[in-house]
Chains A and B, each alone.
Chain A
């Protein structure tokens, strides 16, 4: 057993209001530079939709992530030799038009315009060429289903569903999906980098690009199935989300999580067995990937795990944080959080609580459908997004969330508690109270349990300048 610690995040989609507040501080701090204008380490997409860059989830097109070929785990875009032979041209790379061409305006023209009958107007100007341009896509282009009747058919999460039905006005559904780097346990971007510039930090699993070693081969950009490694077109190097490590090292949470007005984000430490990574990523049945990833996580309260972790040099603050990890409770204890597209086989570490939704039809006494089946967002859609199509774990999570609501309602109104439902779903009043506390009232210190790092104990830290994600 090789124990490693990993920073992880859970986003409760049930509470995301799609305000994009998370994206703004991230943008202002990390990607507010020439060449990075189009880069959003954190962006919020509306589902259904094809997202940013276009169709990032469609790996038949994008060739990101891993595949199981002849029972062996390999990069979908091709292995080492394949990459070196084709090093001059990366045929799987998306171009900037799949994201958007960055633009600005000549605001001075508004002030210098002579008096006219109508308000002066200005045209968008490309930040690459300086010429007038038409805006054709963006990081939130499909906000609140804008244009979904055109693009929705390209959303791979409709697999097994008649997407035309769900794009009709009467049946339509939507929810928000904030996205950032998954800081995967089996990162395809790291494996794709010919230069060895991308790496996982041993102490907390954060994936970074060594800016001094990046030679701009671009295979990380095409290799990441989430399209969360970006190519800076000005510097010719790749950049990606740093999980705000300069903040997390001092015990603060990430900017996206800190700024979230809906308080949907949770950050915590997970302990996992690094010896079983490739085994967990190589499960033949895609539906087995989610449960196998959950099995990788070690119980931070088990004495043998604590002993082994101490022997292997995991610092005490990490063990303490792992014991109080909100991520562990939601992902492992309560099983209400799920990885995004586990079928990409990267073992992602930003997980999502699936959203409840309004009921689409009235109850029919004869129908075997439960309240979960009558919700507007089809279970299959959520399952395609979060469990490689297995609806049962999603159903259980939504049932638990519903049971929690009934429990709290009965509590408030002094009704008789339906202990049987709680029991059937593997819950107790204590668990329900704990869930309520974490999901509804948790304060900063409960939502973000981030251990501090002792950088002062390091040898020659200045030698790592430029090698840690930004320059």
Chain B
């Protein structure tokens, strides 16, 4: 029962909140849709922390997508065995997980230790950071000490969730630190549209293609 709630109902609740939340927020609250940067108030540990964290987390997300969403049989067909897949995932996890975790420690320290930053941090910001800390921390712990085979358990379960064919029994024997990582990640997904994380969707790719100096003309009735 608990297993079904945690690995079927809860993920779908989170994904629903994620989709509906973003649409709702974009339609009703565009004025607060930004990164809420605190660089202007104080830098301190920010430059190192923020660069480590962002690059670490973005690469980690791409790694998760590549490793979990694509079934192992496709990798097998490409000649990449489950063993070598896990090995690549382990070293890639070390390579991006460590900077992401160090980054988040530095950012968390700055949030708490610097008066100006603490004074301008909301509960929402702290919640976001705490969830990120938990997710990244548990993720890195699993890379370092977990050594659990996820390719035939967590990975197909996740694909089941996304293809609307949930298979919670796959999660039954997964170690608790993996469950923590997964549950905090889904909490983060559900919370994201109500937090500062929405700035992810504003990655300014259009800047590469537009004219540098923008003119805007208003439409006038003929």
Contacts and interface: CB of A to CB of B under 8 A. Distances in A.
Contacts of B215: 199-202
B199 interface: yes
A2 B210 CA distance: 20
B37 interface: yes
A191 B216 contact: no
Interface string A178-205: 0000000011001101111011111100
Nearest to B217: A202
Interface in A437-471: 457-461, 464, 466, 471
Interface stretch (A107-115, A207-215, A363-371, A375-383): A207-215
A471 B41 contact: no
Nearest to B115: A129
Nearest to B208: A80
A190 B212 contact: yes
B50 A89 contact: yes
A84 B221 contact: no
A136 to B, nearest CB: 14
Contact of B39 (A80, A89, A212): A89
B212 A216 contact: no
Contacts of B212: 75, 190-191
B210 A95 contact: no
Interface in A231-245: 231, 233-237
A218 interface: yes
Given A96-B41, A129-B119, A217-B204, 14 more contacts: A83-B207, A84-B204, A84-B205, A88-B55, A91-B47, A95-B41, A96-B40, A193-B207, A201-B215, A212-B31, A234-B120, A236-B36, A236-B37, A459-B220
Interface of B: 30-43, 46-47, 50-51, 54-55, 115-116, 119-120, 199, 202-208, 210, 212-221
Interface residues of A, number: 56
Contacts of A83: 207
10 contacts: A80-B207, A88-B50, A89-B47, A93-B39, A202-B217, A215-B33, A217-B35, A218-B40, A237-B31, A277-B213
Contact of B120 (A195, A198, A233, A464): A233
B217 A203 contact: yes
Contact of B213 (A200, A203, A221, A234): A200
Interface in A102-150: 126, 128-131
Contact of B216 (A89, A187, A201, A215): A201
Contacts of B216: 199-202
A81 interface: yes
A186 B211 CA distance: 12
A195 B220 contact: no
A194 B55 CA distance: 19
A190 B214 contact: yes
B196 to A, nearest CB: 8
Contacts of B202: 195, 215
Given A196-B207, A211-B31, A93 B40 contact: yes
A458 B33 contact: no
Interface of A: 75, 80-81, 83-84, 87-91, 93, 95-96, 126, 128-131, 186-187, 190-191, 193-196, 198-203, 211-218, 221, 231, 233-237, 277, 457-461, 464, 466, 471
Sorted from nearest, which 10 A-B pairs have the closest CB atoms? A194-B204, A216-B34, A191-B212, A202-B217, A236-B36, A194-B207, A199-B214, A212-B30, A129-B119, A459-B219
Contacts of A87: 203-204
Contact of A200 (B40, B41, B204, B214): B214
A144 to B, nearest CB: 29
A169 B214 CA distance: 48
Contact of B115 (A96, A131, A211, A214): A131
Contacts of B36: 216, 236
A218 B37 contact: yes
A120 B51 CA distance: 48
B208 A81 contact: yes
Given A90-B39, A95-B42, A200-B215, A128 B116 contact: yes
A2 to B, nearest CB: 11
A186 B219 contact: no
B221 A215 contact: no
B34 A236 contact: yes
A196 B50 contact: no
B199 A215 contact: yes
B210 A128 contact: no
Contacts of A471: 31
A218 B39 contact: yes
A294 to B, nearest CB: 20
Q: Which of A75, A193, A194 has the most CB of B within 10 A?
A: A194
A196 B37 contact: no
A132 B46 CA distance: 24
Given A195-B204, A203-B217, A128 B34 contact: no
A458 B218 contact: yes
